[in-house]
Amino acid sequence: MNKPFLWLFAISNKELNCHKIKQIIVQTNPLNDQEKAKWYQVVFDLKKQFGKKPDMNGLLFIIGVQELGVLREFNKQEKLELMHIATAKLLSFDGYYEFEKTDEDGWPHYKLIATPPYLDLTTQEELLKRLVVRYFEEQGFFQS
């Protein structure tokens, strides 16, 4: 069984909310076997569909397009905005962002609720993989 990666916090005369510690520990656990299987299924199925294995940026782009609900050519700035939309959507699962509104052009906007904790790159990747799996679960991707 994998042990969670535990961050050490320097606390200067302040109490740290135990719920936040628990949330951070949960977020930084490596993927369990079921999550890994679902992660590989997402990557494999998208590779079959697009002819190329998607990296994390590609997955964020796909999720951003899905959230926008429009399939068309996007310029470089729009692609970055789509990746930001996807990141906010994924982090909304853990309460860091909240959907705010859809603007007049149909683009979703999220409001930052809490600053996500600092995570090293490997831990960030694990967190994003877990959230991508959750996103695809909620989209019905794994239903037979």
Convert the pLDDT of each residue in 13-36 to its tens digit: 334 444 444 444 445 578 899 999
| Residue 104 domain flag | yes
* pLDDT at position 142: 87
**What residue numbers bound the domain in which 93 lies?**
75-135
Report the domain count for the chain. Answer: 1
Contact 85, 108 (CB under 8 A): yes
| Residue 83 domain flag | yes
| Residue 30 domain flag | no
pTM above 0.85, yes or no: no
| Residue 106 domain flag | yes
CB-count exposure of residue 130 (10 Å: 0-12, 13-18, 19+) = buried
| Residue 54 domain flag | no
Print pLDDT tens along the chain (144 aa): 333 333 333 333 334 444 444 444 445 578 899 999 999 999 999 999 999 999 999 999 999 999 999 999 999 999 999 999 999 999 999 999 999 999 999 999 999 999 988 889 999 999 999 999 999 999 999 886
Q: Any residues with CB less than 8 A from the CB of 144 and at least 6 apart, and which? A: none
| Residue 114 domain flag | yes
* pLDDT at position 134: 96
| Residue 4 domain flag | no
Q: Which amino acid is at 67?
A: E
| Residue 126 domain flag | yes
